[in-house]
Amino acid sequence: MAFRVQSQSFWRATAKLATVPRVTTPAPQWIRNYAVDQRKRTAIVTGSARGIGKAIALRLAQDGYDICVNDIPANKAGAEEVVSEIKGLGRNAFPYMADVSNLKEVESLVGASVSELGDLNAMIANAGIAQVKGLLDLTEQDLRRMFEVNVYGVYNCYSTAAKQMIKQGGGGKILGAASIVAFKPFPLLSHYSASKWAVRGLTQAMAMELATHKITVNAYAPGIVGTAMWDLIDEELGKLKGAKKGDTIKKYTDELIALGRTSVPEDVSNTVSFLASKDSDYMTGQTIVIDGGIIFT
């Protein structure tokens, strides 16, 4: 049966409703609360008297870590300056001089950090060296020294930190310095490239073996960074190719980097901050490229 409403009645009803005050409910204000990790956390950052290592140490201090600032004795003054900056941020820090290529010194480094700061939560195996030299011109000593620092040094840090973390229980974060040359070698940087490929492989293997202990192992792969190391690479490549100082980095930046600028250490430390945080707890065995768009994985 059809239901009919007279048009006049409907108009009166709607007019009456129109006089009723309208009650509005404010739109809900969605607020996301992030849990702040208040635990005491400590980290060792090797090669942190300057450059990328310094930026990492300062960033992790801002993130709430107490820091053991490590470098070789020749860079002691720089390490002490970094310690002062960290203390200025309200975190604890101390310098410890050790050569990462020497296992005994790395063991002493970890022991000193635990004694001074408490349980070790993160190891950043950042220390490394570079050399510009043609592959057929390399000496046995050139190759040996490159691997002693860049591969043995990373292994010494990884393994010693892992043993300490396993002893403590509760897991941990282990990070190593790779490079874009761990994905695509550069000419005249052959042995440096090979050493960084080794870091990438070691990182993957360590990640598999340490996963049962809730220890994650990842690496970060910077590109062309405005640091003393890249100043040296620029200078040496310039000598070989007859280019002026600064021209090689500029050429690489203009031709290779999608974002069109040379990286700064803070570009790398921002990524390390993530890898050392709880946000990366489900990542392990990865090598993260931070190069402005040179290598695409």
Active site residues: 192
**φ/ψ of residue 99, rounded to 5:** -95, 115
Q: Helix or strand or coil: residue 138?
A: coil
The count of other CB atoms within 10 Å of the CB of residue 169 is 10
Q: How many of the other CB atoms lie within 10 Å of CB of 243?
A: 16
For 26-91, give the DSSP string: PPP---PPPPP--S-EEEEETT-SSHHHHHHHHHHHHTTEEEEEEE-GGGHHHHHHHHHHHHHTT-
d(CA 271, CA 263): 13
Integer Cα distance of 17 and 22 in angstroms: 10
Phi, psi of 110 (to 5 degrees): -65, -40
3-class SS letters over 14-34: HHHHHCCCCCCCCCCCCCCCC
Rounded CA separation 177/230 (Å): 15
The H or E element that residue 96 is part of is strand 93-97
Q: 172 - beta bridge partners? A: 215
Contact 217, 207 (CB under 8 A): yes
Asked if residues 60 and 270 have their Cβ atoms less than 8 Å apart, the reply is no
